[in-house]
Amino acid sequence: MAFRNVYVYYFVFNREINWGGRFVGNTDPIMEKLKASIAYDQRMWEADTKGSKAYVKALQKAGQVTQNEMEQILTGLDKVIILFTTLTQCSRLLLKECIGNPAGKFHTGRSRNYPVATDMRLWLRDAFTTLKELALQLISTMVERAAVEIEILCPGYTHMQRAQPIRWSHWILSHAASLSRDIERLEDIRKCVNVMPGAVAGNPFKIDRESLRQDLNFYRISIYSMDATGQRNFVAKFLFWGSMCLTHLSKMSCCVCVCESSTGSSLMPQKKNADSLELIRSKAGRVFGRWAGFLMTLKGLPSTYNKDLQEDKEAMLDTYDTVHAVLQVATGVISTLKVRDGSANLRWKGLATDLVYHLVRKGMPFREAHSCAGKAVYIAESKNIHLSKLTVEDLQTVSPLFDKDVSSVWDYQGCPNSVLEVQYSDPSGTVRNSVKAQIQHFRTWLQAQKQ
């Protein structure tokens, strides 16, 4: 059976659409394959059924179908959906075969373009809720790990080089911050999605669009019908959102990959490969490709609906599937990751910046202090010892401002007067009290999001 239509409700509810009776002959099989969208259209049958039921009720209010016909169509839709969800050969179980002639009134006043735009919005609106829940679960996992492991220290990196000592909790919360912005951005996009479109030239049958909007729980009605059927800004925004969200998770994955590995190599027994993290990184590229490709489709289109827009659903669904999977894998990684205290790695060069600050507090200009600290690092490297093992005499060859109080620089392991606690005490910093406040901020934010 040849399906000549793009969208689910035609696929499910009609054996064949007669395009005005003027087309004869069969479509070339290659053309059928090129234009086929059934494989991904089927996934939106729930949204289509929801939209179709609401529209039939609107037709009854407008006097285009009788009460009895409306009830037959609604009952028939329920039957078709039951069969659709339980049988594989659902394409043969169509609305007309279930209820007969009333099915012919089902499409009064709407072409396929209107339900295409409507159903995609309904589907994506529900998809947002699912993705938000998964992202919140990931952030919650990060926050609770940060709370439990607040005493663990590790090197902070810049330019992929060990820089300054930070708390592991401070690091993981930095990635939670990126994801929190993604969630807030998703809610902004929801407003763009949750707008009810209409037919290209308007509806000629006095359909009560406000009542229809309420039935489908849209925020508002689009007042520009030509724009509503052809624009896919909401899809492009979602694809961009997916690109940014996975970019943030890719960044986090890359940080962990630099520090550690997880699974075995098929060739080299000594290796542990961070497969899950590497896959997260790769999926970011996949989703970005979907966004870039879809923008190339949009940029050449005239107004209203064009067949090119058949590319919208595949890009949207693939992006959803990818982000959906990656969020769950990332949550699994974060919840099972084993973290070792990195204090031993800090003694080598990680406190060189604090040595600069020590001299600045004694009145030395910053650039001169920076040079002196660099010379101290060179001496430690020459002696093949940790920076913290340099004697006061060693340091005084660099600057006479160094004295016995330089020992305070090496005290970073958590006591109230340590460098870590005194020097970085601003609200966004890595000291214990600041990180505790950051954790509480996230807990409050999470609670607000769940409400």
Structure confidence by residue, pLDDT tens digits, 60-77: 999 999 999 999 989 888
Task: Using the predicted structure, report yes or no on whether residue 217 has a pLDDT greater than 90.
Answer: yes
Q: Virtual CA dihedral for 411, 414, 416, 420, nearest 10 degrees?
A: 60
Q: Which of the given ranges, 86-95, 249-258, 345-354, has the highest pLDDT on average? A: 249-258
From residue 390, give the alpha-carbon distance in Å to each of 8, 234, 273, 367, 423: 74, 60, 37, 22, 22
* Average pLDDT rounded to a whole number, residues 87-115: 67
Q: What is the CA 384 to chain-centroid distance, rounded?
A: 46
- Catalytic residue list contains 303: no
* Average pLDDT rounded to a whole number, residues 206-217: 90
Of 40-44, 128-132, 318-322, the one with minimum mean pLDDT is 40-44
Phi, psi of 269 (to 5 degrees): -60, -25
User: 417-434 pLDDT, tens per residue?
Assistant: 455 666 666 778 878 888
99: left (phi over 0), alpha (psi -120 to 50) or beta: alpha
Is residue 217 a contact partner of residue 51, using CB atoms and an 8 Å limit?
A: no
- Catalytic residue list contains 170: no
Euclidean distance between CA atoms 248 and 284, whole angstroms = 9
User: 116-157 pLDDT, tens per residue?
Assistant: 889 999 999 999 999 999 999 999 999 999 999 998 887 777
Task: Using the predicted structure, report yes or no on whether residue 224 has a pLDDT greater than 70.
Answer: yes
Is residue 2 a contact partner of residue 45, using CB atoms and an 8 Å limit?
A: no
User: 152-184 pLDDT, tens per residue?
Assistant: 887 777 777 766 778 889 999 999 999 999 999
Task: Using the predicted structure, report yes or no on whether residue 389 has a pLDDT greater than 70.
Answer: yes
Delineate the domains of the chain, giving CATH numbers in brackets: 8-105 (1.10.275.10), 113-343 (1.20.200.10), 345-450 (1.10.40.30)
Is residue 207 a contact partner of residue 65, using CB atoms and an 8 Å limit?
A: no
- pLDDT confidence of residue 22: 53
Q: What is the mean pLDDT of the chain?
A: 81
**Which of 265, 303, 407, 425 is flagged as catalytic?**
265
Task: Using the predicted structure, report yes or no on whether residue 26 has a pLDDT greater than 90.
Answer: no
Tokens 């729980």 sit at which residue? 217
- pLDDT confidence of residue 266: 37
Percent of residues, the chain, with pLDDT higher than 90: 41
Task: Using the predicted structure, report yes or no on whether residue 21 has a pLDDT greater than 80.
Answer: no
217: left (phi over 0), alpha (psi -120 to 50) or beta: left
User: 227-276 pLDDT, tens per residue?
Assistant: 877 889 999 999 999 999 999 999 999 888 776 644 443 333 334 556 88
* Average pLDDT rounded to a whole number, residues 400-419: 72
- pLDDT confidence of residue 34: 65
- Helices 113-148 and 311-336 pack at an angle, to 10 degrees, of 10
Secondary structure (3-state) at 146: helix
For the entire predicted model, the pTM comes to 0.81
Secondary structure (3-state) at 331: helix
E-only strand ranges, 257-413: 263-264, 272-273
Secondary structure (3-state) at 416: coil
Euclidean distance between CA atoms 11 and 48, whole angstroms = 11
421 Cβ partners below 8 Å, 6+ apart?
A: 414, 415, 431, 432
**Which of 111, 140, 159, 169 is flagged as catalytic?**
159
Task: Using the predicted structure, report yes or no on whether residue 25 has a pLDDT greater than 70.
Answer: no
- In the chain, the N- to C-terminal Cα span, in Å, equals 48
Task: Using the predicted structure, report yes or no on whether residue 20 has a pLDDT greater than 60.
Answer: no
